Structures are given as structure tokens and as C-alpha cells.
């Protein structure tokens, strides 16, 4: 895995979202007030995405995303296209620390009606020589943020139909991306990384879920989605929360590692490893020989530049469990999982992306 660098993951990666430019945020505010129309907002998004592509080119990355600039958050837009579905978010905060998790509100059946990101892919492909990457939320996000109670509160009588609808919708979207020419998709699945948190486990049990059984179910659901799709390189990003510099969970990957790396039909994983909250590298011992890991060693939450020598030491530590030839490096998460963005400067964002590329080139001879 990863010997052919024509295909992802690349040695230097990034998770997807980028800080929204001030002009784009102002255009969104004006649109919300009715001062500009949808066409004007789209034009502002287009300009911002074109600049985001140039940023990624300057950094030396071999992939490009649209920064998720057409979305208010990494998951809300996608799920909103599947029905009357929303996430009730906690109040905005600017300080770092543990934040409350959004709660899913499901008022209709889940149904894919039309391509969600095919046009985004086409716009991106026309403006970059790099490989376009499209990011989508994970298929288990709704259930994880509400459980069976959220599913059956308004829209469904039983969860089996809900899961069938989820699988059908995600397969339809992935197939539409393939038809549009997309070859690289990242699934942002926040649930798996949070199972290692004792408070999260307690909350799951309190609502009637057994965490171990839920891990098995989420793996099964994701595999059912993937079984109906071909022609895509699909990686999965695991996240413990990344809202305006805050986080939702802490704890090692140990609780999920053996099942996740071996039972889930995903060939490469983007893992947060930027702080002690993620635990050590020991869970990587479960990674099979045909899979690879992108280590999220650079923080998108902290407004300082990491020391390259220290990052190299961490790569060496991870190499005790997974050979360097099956490793890569990235920031630990996006820079703006919501349009509020993390509390770092745009200049620091660019410096961190360049640092990732420099470290990859010095370690593997290529980004």
C-alpha cells in the first residue's frame, strides 16, 4: 500500500476544510440579510475556492479540495440535502476546550434526490492540476448523535428502514461522484474516534446503547455502503471534534482499533494524533499489511508552528508499529469544520500546510 504515489493517499495530505476568507463570510451575512442574491453568493464562493486552490498549489500539495467553502459545516449541508434533517448545535464558543456535541433532529425519511457534490467536483477539477478530493460526512453520524430515539422520534417507526435509507442515499451519492469523474473521496466519520472516551461511553449506555455492539453495527453499515460502490479511492478520517478550536472527546483508539482496521473495508485512515488526547501509537499495531495510515500530527487548533524535528521523532515512533512506507502526514483535522473556523491566522494555516509538505519531502522524497 502507498508504493504507487499516483493514487491517494499522498505522503502530504490535508483533511479538507480551510479557513473562510473574510469576504466570503461577509457575503454569507449579506445573503442571510437579503442584501445579495444566490448568484452573488455563488460568485463569492467561486472566487474564494479559486484562491483556496492557489493556496494548496503554493503549499505543494498533490491533492486539492474546495475548502468546503459552500458549506456552513462539514456535515450539515450534506444531510440537509437528504431530507428535513439538521443538527442542533451548541452555542458558539471561541475558547479552546471540550464542547457539547450537536444533536441530530430527523423530521423526514432519508432520501437521495439528486447529486450533492458532483457540481462541486466539476468546478474544482476545472481549476486544478492536482487530484480533486471530495469530503462527505459518515453514514453513522445521524445515529451516533441521537441514537434510536432520534430516528424514531418523528420520521421512522423502526431503525432498520432508516439504515436501509442511509445506505441507499450514500451509495447513490458515491455513484454520482464516480459518474462525474471523481476518483478520491474522504469520509469524515466522527463516531469511531469517540468510542475511547469514558464520558461518551457512559452517555451511550445511558441512552440504551452498548458501545461495543454499536461499533460492530457502524462497521457493518459502512461496509454495506462501500459494497455497492466501485471506482473510488476512499479514505476515512476519524475525529474527536473540531468546532472553533474545541473538541468533543478524548481517549485512545484502543477501544476500536482492532475491529476498525481489520473489519472495516477502508484501505487508509486519517487519524488525529496532534495531542495527548489521542493516546499513543500502540493501537496502530492492529493495522494490517494492506492498509495505510495518514498521521494527523499537525494541529489545526493551535496558532503556532510545530517543530519539524519533533514531528520526525513522532513519525519514527509510529514507525515502530506501521512501516514508514505505509505512513503519511497531515494536519489532524480541517481548519474550519464549521464556517466559524479554528482560532488560527490564515498565514499560520498556510505555514502548517507547507510544513506538512516539507516533512513529507524530507521523509519520503515526495509529497
Q: Which of 15, 92, 72 is nearest to 246 (CA)?
A: 92
**CB contact at 8 A, 293 and 269:** yes
Per-residue pLDDT 10s for the chain (367 aa) are 665 567 899 999 999 999 999 999 999 999 999 999 999 999 999 999 999 999 999 999 999 999 999 999 888 899 999 999 998 765 544 444 556 677 899 999 999 999 999 999 999 999 999 999 999 999 999 999 999 999 999 999 999 999 999 999 999 999 999 999 999 999 999 889 888 888 888 999 999 999 999 999 999 999 999 998 999 999 999 988 655 555 456 678 998 999 999 999 999 999 999 878 778 999 999 999 999 999 999 999 999 999 999 999 999 999 999 999 999 999 999 999 899 999 999 999 999 999 999 999 999 999 9
Q: Are 137 and 75 contacting, i.e. CB atoms less than 8 angstroms apart?
A: yes
Q: How far, in Å, CA of 53 to CA of 64, rounded?
A: 6
Place of cell 473574510: 22
Beta pairing partners, 243: 246
In a domain, 11, yes or no: no
Domain annotation covers residue 241:
yes
Q: Compute CA 178 distance to the chain's CA centroid, rounded to the nearest angstrom.
A: 19
Q: Is residue 16 part of a domain?
A: no
DSSP state of 325: G
For position 276, which CATH number holds?
Answer: 3.20.20.210
Q: Is residue 263 part of a domain?
A: yes
Contact 356, 17 (CB under 8 A): no
Q: Is 7 within a domain?
A: no
What's the DSSP call for residue 162?
H
DSSP single-letter state for residue 12: B
Residue with cell 480541517: 334
Residue 248 lies in a domain: yes
> Collapsing DSSP states into helix, strand and coil, what is residue 329?
strand
What's 73's DSSP letter?
Answer: B
Beta bridge partners of 184: 233
Q: Count other Cβ atoms within 10 Å, centred on residue 104.
A: 22
What is the total count of domains within the chain?
Answer: 1
Alpha carbons 143 and 209: distance in angstroms, whole number: 11
For β-strands 327-331 and 292-298, DSSP reports them as parallel
CB-CB contact of 62 with 10 (8 Å): yes
pTM of the model: 0.92
* CB-count burial class (<10 Å; 0-12, 13-18, 19+) for 241: buried
Query: Is 51 a domain residue?
Result: yes
How far apart (Å, rounded) are the C-alpha atoms in residues 169 and 344?
Answer: 35
User: Count of CB atoms within 10 A of residue 58's CB?
Assistant: 12
Find the domain containing 164 and state its range.
22-364
* 211, 201 contact by CB (below 8 A): yes
Residue 186 pairs in a beta bridge with 135, 235
Nearest to 246 by CA among 148, 174, 342, 105: 342
Q: Is residue 65 part of a domain?
A: yes
Amino acid at each position: 500500500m502507498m508504493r504507487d504515489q499516483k493514487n491517494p493517499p499522498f505522503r502530504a495530505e490535508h483533511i479538507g476544510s480551510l479557513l473562510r476568507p473574510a469576504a466570503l463570510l461577509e457575503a454569507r451575512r449579506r445573503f442571510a440579510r437579503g442584501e445579495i442574491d444566490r448568484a452573488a453568493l455563488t460568485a463569492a464562493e467561486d472566487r474564494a475556492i479559486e484562491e483556496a486552490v492557489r493556496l494548496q498549489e503554493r503549499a505543494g500539495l498533490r491533492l486539492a479540495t474546495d475548502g468546503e467553502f459552500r458549506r456552513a459545516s462539514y456535515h450539515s449541508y450534506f444531510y440537509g440535502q437528504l431530507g428535513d434533517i439538521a443538527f442542533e448545535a451548541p452555542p458558539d464558543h471561541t475558547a479552546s476546550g471540550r464542547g457539547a456535541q450537536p444533536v441530530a433532529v430527523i423530521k423526514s425519511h432519508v432520501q437521495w434526490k439528486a447529486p450533492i457534490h458532483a457540481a462541486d467536483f466539476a468546478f474544482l477539477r476545472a481549476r486544478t492540476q492536482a487530484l480533486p478530493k471530495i469530503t462527505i460526512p459518515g453514514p453513522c453520524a445521524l445515529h451516533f448523535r441521537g441514537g434510536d430515539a432520534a430516528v424514531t422520534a418523528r420520521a421512522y417507526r423502526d431503525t432498520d428502514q432508516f439504515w436501509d435509507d442511509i445506505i441507499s442515499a450514500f451509495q447513490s451519492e458515491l455513484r454520482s461522484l464516480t459518474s462525474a469523474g471523481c476518483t478520491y473521496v474522504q469520509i469524515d466519520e466522527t463516531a469511531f474516534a469517540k468510542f475511547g472516551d469514558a464520558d461518551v461511553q457512559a452517555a451511550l449506555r445511558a441512552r440504551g446503547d452498548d458501545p461495543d455492539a454499536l461499533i460492530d453495527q457502524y462497521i457493518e453499515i459502512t461496509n454495506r455502503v462501500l459494497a455497492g460502490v466501485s471506482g473510488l479511492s476512499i479514505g476515512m478520517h476519524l475525529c474527536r471534534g473540531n468546532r472553533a478550536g474545541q473538541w468533543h472527546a478524548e481517549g485512545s483508539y484502543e477501544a476500536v482499533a482492532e475491529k476498525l482496521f481489520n473489519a472495516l473495508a477502508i484501505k487508509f485512515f486519517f487519524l488525529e494524533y496532534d495531542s495527548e488526547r489521542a493516546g499513543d501509537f500502540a493501537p496502530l499495531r492492529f493495522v494490517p499489511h494492506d492498509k495505510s495510515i495518514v498521521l494527523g500530527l499537525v494541529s489545526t487548533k493551535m496558532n503556532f508552528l510545530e517543530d519539524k524535528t519533533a514531528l520526525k521523532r513522532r513519525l519514527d515512533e509510529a514507525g515502530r508499529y506501521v512501516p514508514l512506507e505505509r505512513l503519511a502526514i497531515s494536519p489532524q483535522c480541517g481548519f474550519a469544520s464549521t464556517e466559524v473556523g479554528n482560532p488560527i491566522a490564515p498565514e499560520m494555516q498556510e505555514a502548517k500546510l507547507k510544513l506538512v509538505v516539507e516533512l513529507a519531502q524530507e521523509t519520503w522524497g515526495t509529497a
